[in-house]
Amino acid sequence: MAHITIDTGSPTLRMTTSIHVISPVDSGAPSDNILYLLHGAGDNASTWHRLTTVELYAAKYGCTVIMPQVNRSYYTDMEYGLDYFHYITEELPDFCARLFKLNEDPQRTFVAGLSMGGYGALKVALTYPDRYAKAVSLSGVTDIQQRLRDPNMEPGMDREMKAVFGTELLVKPDQDLYALAAKRIKEGGRLPALLCCCGTEDPFIGMNREFADHMRATRFDFEYVEGPGTHDWLFWEKHLKTAFEFLFDEKK
């Protein structure tokens, strides 16, 4: 396996940004599996590799893991800022496919993330279900409107949320996971398989349980895993194994 750090100019973001990639280059052949692994708020492109055993799982499953950097954008084309959703879903896949000669088979392309990145992973897969076979959210923000109205939000975060979602903090249908899921069901096309995991002491446990109850009643292939833990890397490292088993279990 190779761990590659890329600093490259982004036409979409109009600045230099970082991408960390774990690649099975020693196999001598293009990777069959691609995982876009999204960081949480306060993290960056390096955090998954620094704080977890993701490289061991990438080696086990022969997977190219692409870890981009989006700062605190909530994987959104910001109201007052940069177009991070377009970057993640359009520019980044095209750039990495050309650079690493990736096999972009939708049945072998996955997206996962934690916290803010869990929201991003679900939004990406629900927006483009024809591009991703499965998506995983670890401790994700599954109800973005509820998050924006959280009275316990950290001081100062309301200002950055207004930069992302607008001064009225109103969520558009293409930013709302419930609305996106309903749209995909109405269209009647292919649906990605989804997994959500959350710790019982996590501050987002309520919204994750509500989202799980809602999704179980739909025709999505949806799984929910809950267990001891809070919003930290101990829980995410433990359930990284859960995520990879879900993504690469051929029976699923």
Domain that holds residue 144: 2-246
Percentage of residues in the chain having pLDDT higher than 90? 90
pLDDT digits (tens, 9 = 90+) for 62-72: 999 999 999 99
Residue 147 forms part of a structural domain: yes
Residue 212 forms part of a structural domain: yes
Residue 68 forms part of a structural domain: yes
Total domains in the chain come to 1
Antiparallel, parallel or unpaired: β 63-68 and 15-23: antiparallel
Assign residue 147 a region (left: φ > 0; alpha: ψ between -120 and 50; beta: otherwise): alpha
Antiparallel, parallel or unpaired: β 134-138 and 222-227: unpaired
Question: What is d(CA 153, CA 83) in angstroms, rounded to the nearest whole number?
Answer: 24
Residue 252 forms part of a structural domain: no
Residue 97 forms part of a structural domain: yes
Antiparallel, parallel or unpaired: β 134-138 and 193-199: parallel
Q: Read off the pLDDT band of 246 (50, 70, 90).
A: very high
**Which structure tokens are listed for 40?**
């949480």
**In whole angstroms, how far apart are CA 199 and each of 127, 139, 205?**
26, 7, 7
Sequence-distant (≥ 6) Cβ neighbours of residue 25 within 8 angstroms? 1, 2
What's the first-to-final CA gap in the chain, in angstroms? 26
pLDDT at 30 over 60: no
Average pLDDT over residues 139-151: 95
Average pLDDT over residues 51-58: 97
pLDDT at 1 over 90: no
Stretch (H or E) spanning 194: strand 193-199
Q: Read off the pLDDT band of 252 (50, 70, 90).
A: very low
CB atoms within 10 A of CB 4: 14
pLDDT mean across residues, the chain:
95
Choose the weakest-confidence range: 31-35, 126-130, 221-225: 31-35
* CATH number for the domain that contains residue 196: 3.40.50.1820
Residue 7 forms part of a structural domain: yes
Residue 110 forms part of a structural domain: yes
**In whole angstroms, how far apart are CA 63 and each of 27, 37, 229?**
11, 11, 27
pLDDT digits (tens, 9 = 90+) for 168-226: 999 999 999 999 999 999 999 999 999 999 999 999 999 999 999 999 999 999 999 99
Residue 251 forms part of a structural domain: no
Q: Read off the pLDDT band of 27 (50, 70, 90).
A: low
Backbone CA torsion sign across 109, 110, 111, 113: negative
∠ CA 149-238-32, rounded to 5° = 100
Nearest-CA neighbor of 38 among 129, 126, 110, 142?
110
